[in-house]
Amino acid sequence: AASTHQARFDAAMAADERIEPRDWMPDDYRASLVRQMAQHAHSEIIGMQPEANWITRAPSLRRKAILMAKVQDEAGHGLYLYSATETLGVGRDELLDKLHSGRQKYSSIFNYPTLTWADVGAIGWLVDGAAITNQVPLCRCSYGPYARAMVRICKEESFHQRQGYELLLALSQGTPAQHEMAQDAVDRWWWPSLMMFGPPDDASAHSAQSMAWKIKRHSNDELRQRFVDICVPQAEALGLTLPDPDLRWNEERGHHDFGAIDWDEFWQVLKGNGPCNEQRITQRRKAHEDGAWVREAAAAHAAKRASGRPG
C-alpha cells in the first residue's frame, strides 16, 4: 500500500496537481511544509513589532490610520498561515511554543531596528516588495492550503508595498532633511532585504528537494535577482540611491549585477546575534503571557456553549 501511495503522490506532483490535507503525503514533505509555513507564520507576527514601534509617532492621523491597518493585516496573515499549518496536523500551541523557545525560526529581516519614520516607508517598499517577489510563486505551491492562503496575502502585501513607496516618495521630495532620512533608511534596509531570500543556492539546504516537491518554484538566487531588477528603476523614480557601488546593468545577462552580500551577517542574525533578536522574542513571549486570560476566557466560553448552558 505504501508504494501505491507514493506512486499516487508522485503522479500528482508530475501532473502539477494540488496536495490536500486528507491526501497521503511523504513524512518529509509534511515536515518540510511545517518548517517553512511555521517560519512564515512566525515572521508575519514578529514582523508587527518593528512597524508598531512607529504607530504612536506617525506624523499625521492619515499615516497613523494606514500604519495601524497595515500592522493589523500582518496579524491576519499570521493567522491564515497558522491555520494552514494546522491542516498538517500540528497544533498552534506547539508552533508558538517552538517560536518562543527558539526551535523554529522567523525571518532574519525583523531583527533590525526601525530608527526613524522613514524606516516604515523602507520596510513597505523593500521588505514587503521582497516578500511579494518571494510569495507570488508560492500561490502555485503544491500544497493547497498554503497556496490558497498566499493569494490573499499577496494582494494585501501589494497594497503595503505601495504605501511604503508612496511614503518614501513624499519624504524624498520633501525637505532636504526628509530626503536624507529616506536615503538613510534605504541605505540600512537594502542589504538585509536581499538576505531575506535566503542563502545562496549552493548553500541552500532545502532548495533542491523543495523545488522537486513544487513547494518552491524558483531558487533563492533567482528570486533575489528578480527583486534587484525590479528595484533599480523604482529607486530611480524615487530619487534615491541603492547603496551598492557594484550595481550595474549587464547587457549580456539581461540583469543587473550587484555587489557581494555579507553572508556572515546573515548567519549571525540566524544564530540570534542580530541587533534586535533578543528584544523581538522577549516582547513576543510577554505578549503571549499577557494574552493568557483572553485564551482562558475564550476556552471557558466555548466549553459553556458546548455544554448547552446559556451564556
**Contacting positions for ligand ACO (CB under 6 A):** 35-36, 39-40, 43-44, 47, 105, 107-108, 131, 134, 195-199, 204-207, 210, 220, 270
Residue nearer to ligand ACO on the CB measure, 30 or 206: 206
State the residue for C-alpha cell 549580456: 252
Say if residues 220 and 204 touch (Cβ distance below 8 Å). yes
State the residue for C-alpha cell 509617532: 57
First-to-last alpha carbon distance for the chain, in angstroms, is: 49
Residue nearer to ligand ACO on the CB measure, 196 or 311: 196
Return phi, psi of residue 141, to 5°: -60, 145
CB 157 to ligand ACO: min, Å = 7
CB 259 to ligand ACO: min, Å = 19
Q: Which amino acid is at 261?
A: I
Residue nearer to ligand ACO on the CB measure, 28 or 236: 28
Q: Which amino acid is at 149?
A: A
Residue nearer to ligand ACO on the CB measure, 104 or 183: 104
CB 190 to ligand ACO: min, Å = 15
CB 214 to ligand ACO: min, Å = 13
CB 47 to ligand ACO: min, Å = 5
Q: Which amino acid is at 206?
A: H
Residue nearer to ligand ACO on the CB measure, 178 or 234: 234
Residues 151, 107: Cα–Cα separation, whole Å:
20
**Of 40, 43, 120, which is closest to residue 84 (Cα–Cα)?**
40
| C-alpha distance from residue 44 to each of 52, 125, 132, 275 (Å) | 13, 16, 13, 19
Please give the DSSP secondary-structure letter assigned to residue 19.
Answer: B
CB 295 to ligand ACO: min, Å = 24
- 135: phi > 0 → left, psi -120 to 50 → alpha, else beta; which? alpha
Residue nearer to ligand ACO on the CB measure, 157 or 244: 157
**Of 188, 180, 72, 45, which is closest to residue 122 (Cα–Cα)?**
188
Residue nearer to ligand ACO on the CB measure, 200 or 243: 200
CB 189 to ligand ACO: min, Å = 13
